[in-house]
Structure 1
């Protein structure tokens, strides 16, 4: 179908919301099915309901994009083709995807289906957009944190459609980088089950000393430091469109049909104004703004990140009132006008009735035209039919999705045709017209394979948990003499370390790698002979020190890698442009990539350093691993949210691709990575790295670090992950590279942890853990 100049994209968490969105003027809706959507708790339709929704939007000239925007476990990936086939054959317009393995399967099995890269992919730059275009995406959904300038550059440099959020809730964390709900209660945002812990109150304390003893630095009535106001961009809508955004996305699949209708109707009004009159007379009426606030108000609106990087004015801070009287007059209007509306498409028709010949009806609507034949009129014995009576009867379209805007009749001779025959002629005509209109969306979509459904194109032996054999890459990834890769032929039998069978093969030493964020952590690492590789955080260590530290690592028999930032936006681009010669001449053995788009940046800028992917570059399944393998990483780090059994197929795929897998066995997991800065919110911007502590309602203290070079915050899990005691299972899984990840530890604690883990994993000497509180993370339990 012909595309509009701009697209208003509405949320549809239910059938009722979908109809309300269409009635209010949405050009497209995004909707989830029963599985794999980032809103698992929405009133998502079953297969029959979603198929009917696809037909409904198409009959009214709109589009439907299906959300398949979660990360996939191996067993789920095998079910994806069967799950998607009915929707594809029905004419689904596009699919929104987060997982690279799922994206690959969609591309190979569903030709012609638009692939949209979800905001969950954390696309923040030209490099991310270019990479996803190369992977087959025709559209990228930008991170909510991107500025207008960043979006404009994507529009100018990458031939993809841009979809950006213009209204609704804002996540505190970069989408796709939030593990907070997952680590606290097992409800993963990457699986559509976020429990929204960011909407809870927190007290903020200075530094590590803030264990509840020192006074909080945020005011008593401003405890909602992670709760952002809702986005509303009416004032800057022309700027957004002129920056190159094609699809204007409204958030709200968990909200009511009434909310959807109201928000869509307002944005329809202003988008139409811009498309017809441009900026002339642009003014947002106070009544329209009030209507949006009446529909949902979390403490006022913000225009978001389009014009500023972060700010206190974006944060709700104060508690939302428990009760606020609703605008019933508005609600009734929206229900009556949109929610309960029955849309009808205008049809043009012509009927020819001639005695003794089959009656003929020709109908046309939205580019489709059909002709049907019916019962032949007989010569009139008494009173002949009139044109007026024929048209009156045929105009009764009833509960069909059509209404005649023009209908003519041509009667040849004096005749009679029963009312039932006229009704049947109209019914068959409108059914044929509906079928023809829907067929326009389904052309070439039916999959054929000997009469059966198409067989999925999948990675070889996907899903089998087999022996993870040592790879050549595993032997060469760490040039140091201490670097060895473990071999294991035992099958993973249990997700519980204590229940795993004993290893039947001699243990091969683990390769111990260490990442450090603070200079004080470096000296204990250099002194520890068992460490084979050091990952140096780019924010914590100045470029002027890189060469000296790399030389010291090499002198100590260790390889040295630079850990790139978790977020790779303008701050990072400028930093590395200014420091590129220092990076290339420091003598690093490679880099640790923490964002998918950094791989593209390395390639585009011809920086010939090998790379290792971190846990934040999600490799949940063998399909994703094979996509990453095509970029030739030195190693791939296992994700935080898979349990030991679920990692099996990924480890196997690593072995087949000759790429060692790496597992973080100690460290405070990053729960949130945010463009917001808590220091700036509760005090003011210091432009200095520092540490704050968030105290939640349970008394837990969450460390928060501001990474000023790249202007983002990281909130860490209060208890470190520790896999002490799981050594045998990790060996049998085929994971020989293990990492200790130091973030907020001081030098003394760093040394103690190093000694405990090297003794246990490398020498088989069990020592008392040098910490009281710890968690196994998801290594045993996994996520839903």
Structure 2
């Protein structure tokens, strides 16, 4: 184990036991891996409880902390089955849990109040206000959203005393974690349930104003490069970030070893060279950059020409010559040339040509009559089965595999002779006639003392040896036997012998003492705080939450009447969300109750607010889905205008608005999936709350059995949001602008649709902070559930518009309101609603009863 000398914790991913050893032996301060059956990387190895116990013990002996990732949403029926499971897993003594679900966090706190919990990046925490709000739940640390710049991270650090964790290396998600419904909508596999289908890595075609846009190289429009924060480490350390996290539980042990070594070296202020960077690119890379840490740069964040591992860029093909290929090397290659056996990839992205082969031989060379400043050239030879005629001048060349490099990295966690161990001091003491004692200490106030089973005897031939000979013989024997620690985490640093002269000590006794001392020191280093988890306390917590809902006392003092009047199920409250002011006029005279404004950048709310009130409706304003430092102006606008209510979409906005006196309602983006989450969110001042869109109808009605249906709002019609991203696909594909205003606000000038691999079109929209949302082109309707929802006491329904003109808005709203009011049948409403849709109507995730299974398992 390489000890850390700097303050930030280096946190590495673990998907297998080998990855654990690779991380620990190459400098990790902490590791994280999935809870059995429950984690956000459904394709990783599913450890047993015994595996988890052994891994925690292995790491703790070596001074490395272990975090168990349980960062998924938990449905109602699952929540009630969890107390015994959680008691068992907490008893294994992990250092912390990484949690997304608020209800799960509260349940863990009820079962073991002293258990450390970390708020996952899946909670979409991007401001100090949001971080401080979840602190009240009992979280000890917040894992920040990956879309933050160093400047924004510093602002958050200055506004909270909670520990902060930041991603520094690995794959980036194009969508905000916890806000991505693409995998579920496109593939039936929820990213919030550990089953991301990586829809962002697929090719898409772009249509602008109805015509395909071909003047772009961004076929893989949403496939981000990989993050490498090595250039930003000093700044993150100066800010005071507590933990630096590497992504990659699906990567290889060799990858973990390479990343651990490079970042450990950098954190220890040892200059990196090309040999440190080489494996970071060769083993797995889609191209490295600093992500959002330097702020928005939409051109750099997404290459657009590929989505898979490409490795290290070598250069371009300069010439093909009699079975050989000559490559003009990029300056960045330095001296890290490919070796025989390496994988080489040739690519022409514009033509969709990608060809790979193993390298047979390579030699640095020069073309005849080289000119000053020309690049170095590499002459490559391949096996006879590789047809070099496929390779054309100008093709890009990458090195994307290296067996030799992997072998070297593998030695770092398999070769015992290379392993750095914990230095220990030993004191061997004893008097003739008394038991021999061995004390082993690690210099960190951990000390183990063991005693031999039999008294120490005098040597029979001691009189024949001189004093020096006897001392040397004893020292040599003790040094030999007591230093044999290769099977442990320790190495002997200093040995002090305090044994009577003339004593006889068999080697077997010394070996037994050494083994017992090492085992005892292991136990001492593994000692953990007493948590005493109790499943019964968790069950009592869940029962009390359900009882509060049934008695109408939920929300811890927040009265429902202060926000939105309770109505009986005979007259449900109908809200319509509009996305441009022109849609409002279409609502005049309709049988609805509320209108929610969700406008784009620069659109005024004042006149629209009054117009809605003049029509006799309650006027609401929606917050954005993300709240970042310096982005409170839209919240200040809500406070200034004092709408009749506000639709809250993120925890930062909830923190700011909860004491405003403005009635609040919560949106699906708060990811409430169970009654314990509902109870806490409602207690923060929300009158009603929309459930997470991860729930299907069965899970929704399970939830309704344990909450008050009048506190739940459900959208009966909407275009489902897929990606919600800081990255602007408009700017990347249609301009050369890195960020606003270089993009010329292109999103306001054109209608853009995205065609997926299934031939379905989807709508790309921007919000008031230039963030993009990809809306599924076929809207979801929950009309079939209406009778059962009414029976469950639900009486808040929402209809969401997108880009429809006023006439279409009116037709849609009329159909749905007539169905809700019981004036037309559900069947007629569904038929009429489907006619209105350009790409048809979908029942969506609410009617998906399938459970995705990984075939690898």
Structure-1-length-normalised TM-score: 0.87
Cross-structure match for 2:63: 61
> Cα offset for 1:725?
2.9
Distance in 2 of aligned mates of 1:686 and 1:416: 88
State the Cα distance separating 1:24 from its structure 2 match.
Answer: 0.8
CA distance in 1, matches of 2:532, 2:562: 48
CA distance in 1, matches of 2:763, 2:670: 22
Q: Superposition pairs for residues 6-25 of structure 1, below 5 Å?
A: 6-25=8-27
In structure 2, the partner of 1:367 is 445
Q: State the match for 2:846 in structure 1.
A: 779
- CA gap 1:339/1:168 in 2 versus in 1, 3 angstroms: farther
Q: Residue 515 of structure 2: SS of its match in structure 1?
A: helix
Alpha carbons 1:17, 1:339 under 8 Å: kept: no
Match of 1:332 in 2: 407
Residue 714 (1) aligns with residue 773 (2)? yes
Cα deviation, residue 402, structure 1? 2.3
2:628 aligned residue (562, 569, 578): 569
313-322 or 349-358: bigger deviation: 313-322
Looking at structure 2, the residues matched to 222 and 541 of structure 1 have their Cα atoms a distance apart, in angstroms, of: 28
CA distance in structure 2 between the aligned counterparts of 1:455 and 1:198, rounded to whole angstroms: 38
User: Which residue number in structure 1 is paired with residue 359 of structure 2?
Assistant: none
Measure the CA separation in 1 of the matches of 2:415 and 2:849.
43
Instruction: Give the match for residue 665 of structure 1.
Output: 716
Inter-partner Cα distance in structure 2 for 1:393 and 1:718: 73
* Stretch of structure 1 that moved more, 179-188 or 396-405: 396-405
Q: Does 1:396 align with 2:474?
A: no
Whether the aligned pair in 1 keeps the contact of 2:170 and 2:248 (CA below 8 Å) is yes
Q: CA RMSD in A?
A: 2.8
Aligned to 2:641: 586
1:132 to partner: Cα distance: 1.8
**In structure 1, distance between residues paired with 2:450 and 2:652:** 55
**Structure 2 Cα separation of the partners of residues 382 and 625 of structure 1:** 81
SS at match of 1:527: coil
Find the aligned partners of 1:467 and 1:455 in 2 and give their Cα distance. Answer: 19
Specify the SS of the correspondent of 2:588.
helix
Report the Cα distance in structure 2 between the residues aligned to 1:597 and 1:339, rounded to whole angstroms. 46
For residue 423 of structure 2, the aligned residue among 323, 346, 350 is 346
Shift of 1:227: 0.1
Q: C-alpha deviations, 1:490-525, integer Å up to 9, x for none?
A: xxxxxxxxxxxxxxxxxx232211111122321222
Q: How many angstroms apart in 1 are the aligned matches of 2:679 and 2:136?
A: 15
**Partner residue in 2 for 1:500:** none
| Counterpart Cα distance in 1 of 2:799 and 2:720 | 11
State the Cα deviation string for residues 132-190 of structure 1 (Å, max 9, x = none). 22222221111111112211111112101211111111100011100000111221110
Which secondary structure state, in structure 2, belongs to the residue aligned with residue 634 of structure 1? strand
Name which of 194, 208, 216 aligns with 2:213.
216
C-alpha separation in 2, matches of 1:467 and 1:147:
45
Deviation at 1:712, TM superposition (A): 0.2
Partner of 2:685 in structure 1?
Answer: 632
Q: In the alignment, is the contact (CA less than 8 A) between 1:95 and 1:114 conserved in 2?
A: yes
1:595 to 639, 650, 654: 650
Tell me if structure 1 keeps the 8 A contact 2:77–2:702.
no
Aligned match of 2:725: 674
Please tell me whether the aligned partners of residues 560 and 588 of structure 1 are also in contact (alpha carbons under 8 angstroms).
yes
Contact 1:223 1:317 in 2 (8 A): yes
Question: How far apart, CA to CA, are the structure 1 residues paired with 2:200 and 2:57?
Answer: 38
CA 1:735/1:340 → structure 2, altered by over 3 Å: closer, same or farther?
farther
Aligned mates of 1:127, 1:3 — CA distance in 2: 32
8 Å contact from structure 1 (residues 310, 677) kept in 2:
no
Q: What is the correspondence of 1:598-637 to structure 2 with a 5 Å cutoff?
A: 598-603=653-658, 607-637=660-690
Cα–Cα, structure 1 residues 402 and 164, in superposed 2: closer, same or farther, change >3 Å?
same
The number of residues matched between the two structures is 728
CA drift of 1:67 comes to 0.8
Rounded Cα–Cα distance in structure 1 between residues aligned with 2:553 and 2:481: 78
Tell me how far 1:465 sits from its aligned partner: 14
Does 1:120 pair with 2:117?
no
Q: Aligned pair in 2 of structure 1 residues 477, 246: CA closer, same or farther (>3 Å)?
A: closer
CA gap 1:514/1:455 in 2 versus in 1, 3 angstroms: closer
Counterpart mapping for 1:454-465 below 5 A: 456-460=539-543
Q: Which has the larger radius of gyration?
A: 2
Deviation at 1:57, TM superposition (A): 1.3
Residues of 2 paired with 1:371 and 1:467: CA distance?
A: 59
Which of residues 487, 494, 499 in structure 2 aligns to 1:406? 494
CA separation of 1:453/1:19 partners in 2, compared to 1, >3 Å: closer, same or farther?
farther
Q: CA separation of 1:224/1:466 partners in 2, compared to 1, >3 Å: closer, same or farther?
A: same
1:424 to 512, 526, 548: 512
SS at match of 1:749: helix
Answer whether contact 1:561 1:591 (CA < 8 A) is retained. Answer: yes
Q: In structure 2, what is the Cα distance between the partners aligned to 1:23 and 1:557?
A: 68
The secondary structure found in structure 2 opposite 1:697 is coil
Q: Judge which range, 408-417 or 300-309, deviates more.
A: 408-417
Structure 1 residue matching 2:680: 3-state secondary structure: helix
| Equivalent residues of 1:515, 1:742 under 8 A apart | yes
Change (3 A) 1:242 1:453: same
Tell me the equivalent position of 1:489: none
What's the TM-score, normalizing by structure 2?
A: 0.80
Give, in whole Å, the separation in 2 of the partners of 1:176 and 1:339: 37
Aligned residues of 1:151 and 1:244 also touching (Cα < 8 A): no
CA apart distance, 1:612: 0.3
Could you tell me whether the CA contact under 8 Å between 2:782 and 2:843 is conserved in 1?
A: yes
2:118 touches 2:140 (CA, 8 Å); kept in 1? yes
- Counting only pairs closer than 5 Å after superposition, residues 97-176 of structure 1 correspond to structure 2 as 97-176=99-178
Q: How far does the alpha carbon of each residue in 1:631-667 deviate from its partner, in whole angstroms, 9 at most, with x for none? A: 12121112212122322353345429xx621111101
Contact residue 565 and residue 572 of structure 1 kept, 8 A:
no
Matches for 1:237-386 after TM superposition, within 5 Å: 237-273=233-269, 285-298=273-286, 300-319=287-306, 320=308, 323=356, 324-341=399-416, 344-365=421-442, 366-374=444-452, 375-382=454-461, 386=474
Match of 1:499 in 2: none
8 Å contact kept, 1:182–1:783: no
1:697-722 CA deviation, whole Å, 9 max, x = no partner?
A: 11110111022x21200101121111
**Does the aligned pair in 1 maintain the 2:584–2:612 contact within 8 Å?**
no
Q: Tell me if the contact between 1:234 and 1:284 (Cα under 8 Å) persists in the aligned partners.
A: no
Residue 587 and residue 116 in structure 1: after superposition, are their counterparts in 2 closer, same or farther (change >3 A)?
closer
- C-alpha distance in 2 between matches for 1:484 and 1:746: 31
Look up the SS of the partner of 1:205 in the other structure: strand
Is the CA contact 1:74–1:462 (under 8 Å) kept in the aligned structure 2? no
**1:9, 1:250 within 8 Å by CA — same for their partners in 2?**
yes
Contact kept? 2:142, 2:163, Cα under 8 Å: yes
Which runs of 5 or more residues in structure 2 are unaligned?
A: 311-353, 357-398, 463-469, 736-742, 852-857
Deviation of 1:587 after TM superposition, in Å, equals 4.9
User: Among residues 517, 539, 549, which one is paired with 2:579 in the alignment?
Assistant: 517
| Aligned residues of 1:350 and 1:362 also touching (Cα < 8 A) | yes
Give a deviation string over 1:223-251, Cα, whole Å, max 9, x none. Answer: 00100000112122212222332211111
Q: Which moved more, 1:239-248 or 1:184-193?
A: 239-248
**What is the SS of the residue equivalent to 1:535?**
strand
- What secondary structure does 2:653 align onto? helix
Q: Which shows bigger deviation, 390-399 or 674-683?
A: 390-399
CA contact (8 A) 1:186 1:782 kept: no
Distance 1:457 1:358, change over 3 A: farther
SS of equivalent to 1:725: helix
Deviation digits for residues 277-336 of structure 1 (CA, Å, limit 9, x no counterpart)? xxxxxx7534433331112121x2121111222411110211245645522332111011
Q: Which residue does the alignment assign to 1:279? A: none
- Equivalent of 1:555, from 594, 614, 623? 614
Confirm or deny: 8 A CA contact 2:170 2:246 kept in the other structure. Answer: yes
Give secondary structure in 1 for the equivalent of 2:643: coil
- In the other structure, the counterpart of 1:46 is 48
Distance in 1, matches of 2:562 and 2:161, equals 38
